[in-house]
């Protein structure tokens, strides 16, 4: 099934980048190719799962809790999935993954992926930065997930404490750009993974180009996965090649480890695990038959 295939691919990438990067620093600096499918990554549990293992449901039962973080006049809703009564011992302080969605896409469109990550022992949170349809300000929006992270670090936000030394960000499209921007301004962030991120630049005050300064200066692990089918053609391409995930990867020159994955046969909205939640934002974007393309 298409959704099963992409969930397998995405959780494998999380295992390669987020789990491994947050567990221990890389042995050597430099840009790295995609890890082999049989590789084993540190995750704090025994036995250490392989990429193939991570495509299956994890060993932990989970529950969810929703909240709203307030920043000035902005209200940022979020939902956290976290391990509860486990089949194997839960780590005392699990790592935290904070996820930001694509522009005008509700973060609930990625809920199944966040649940899947939580079943592997993470506190996985998807949040909705405030975004005006006609006047979005990326520097203003990036302060919203920071406010959510502040809330989650507060003592009473969740009934489970997270490991303050293992915090990662992820995001799809604009959310991927916001994750990179936030990581550059927040030392609490230890790794970033972008789903088909877009460096959609415009007026520098509100829509800055972050490739040369923000990414290039960051010395944390990065991973960028994306597709090429939406890179050109049509009235307006969904993922222009001049701003796509490859440009993020090429700009990550200070990263101790950086990964790039091309998801063959996918369209950018195939990266949603709950596309029925997307609504109008996805109505103009066709889905591809990723399973047949993957062979």
Q: For residue 116, what is the DSSP state?
A: H
Residues present in the chain in total: 295
CA–CA separation, 217 vs 95, rounded Å? 24
Tokens of 251: 């700009």
> Counting runs of H as helices and runs of E as strands, what totals does the chain give?
8, 8
Alpha-carbon distances of 55 from 98, 113, 120, 173, rounded to whole Å: 20, 11, 10, 23
Which CATH class, in words, describes the domain spanning 2-63+81-294?
Answer: alpha beta
pLDDT averaged over 10-residue windows placed end to end, the chain, 295 residues? 50 53 40 39 40 71 91 90 69 85 88 88 90 77 92 80 88 92 92 89 80 85 82 58 88 88 75 75 56 35
pLDDT of residue 284: 58
pLDDT of residue 124: 93
pLDDT of residue 87: 53
The residues spanned by each domain of the chain are: 2-63+81-294
Q: Per DSSP, which regions of 120-230 are E strands?
A: 123-127, 167-172, 191-195, 222-226
Full-model pTM: 0.81
pLDDT of residue 179: 94
pLDDT of residue 88: 52
199-221 confidence digits (pLDDT tens) = 877 777 888 888 877 788 899 98
């Amino acid at each position: 099934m298409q959704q099963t295939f992409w969930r397998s691919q995405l959780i494998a990438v999380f295992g390669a980048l987020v789990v491994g990067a947050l567990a221990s620093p890389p042995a050597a600096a430099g840009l790295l190719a995609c890890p082999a499918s049989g590789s084993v990554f540190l995750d704090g549990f025994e036995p250490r799962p392989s990429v193939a293992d991570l495509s299956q449901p994890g060993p932990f039962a989970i529950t969810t809790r929703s909240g709203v973080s307030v920043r000035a006049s902005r209200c940022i809703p979020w939902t956290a999935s976290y391990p509860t009564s486990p089949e194997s011992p839960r780590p005392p302080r699990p790592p935290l993954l904070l996820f930001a969605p694509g522009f005008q896409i509700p973060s609930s469109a990625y809920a199944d992926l966040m649940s899947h990550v939580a079943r592997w022992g993470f506190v996985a949170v998807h949040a909705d930065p405030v975004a005006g349809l006609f006047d979005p300000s990326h520097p203003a929006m990036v302060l919203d997930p920071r406010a959510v992270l502040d809330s989650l670090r507060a003592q009473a936000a969740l009934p489970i404490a997270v490991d303050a030394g293992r915090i990662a960000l992820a995001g799809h499209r604009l959310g991927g750009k916001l994750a990179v921007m936030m990581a550059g301004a927040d030392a609490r962030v230890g790794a970033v993974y972008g789903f088909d991120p877009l460096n959609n630049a415009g007026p520098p005050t509100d829509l800055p180009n972050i490739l040369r300064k923000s990414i290039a200066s960051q010395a944390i692990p990065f991973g960028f996965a994306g597709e090429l089918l939406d890179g050109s053609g049509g009235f307006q391409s969904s993922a222009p090649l001049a701003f796509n995930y490859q440009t993020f990867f090429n700009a990550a020159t200070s990263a101790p480890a950086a990964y790039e994955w091309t998801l063959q046969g996918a369209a950018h909205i195939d990266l949603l695990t709950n596309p029925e939640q997307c609504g109008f934002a996805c109505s103009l974007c066709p889905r591809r038959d990723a399973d047949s393309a993957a062979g």
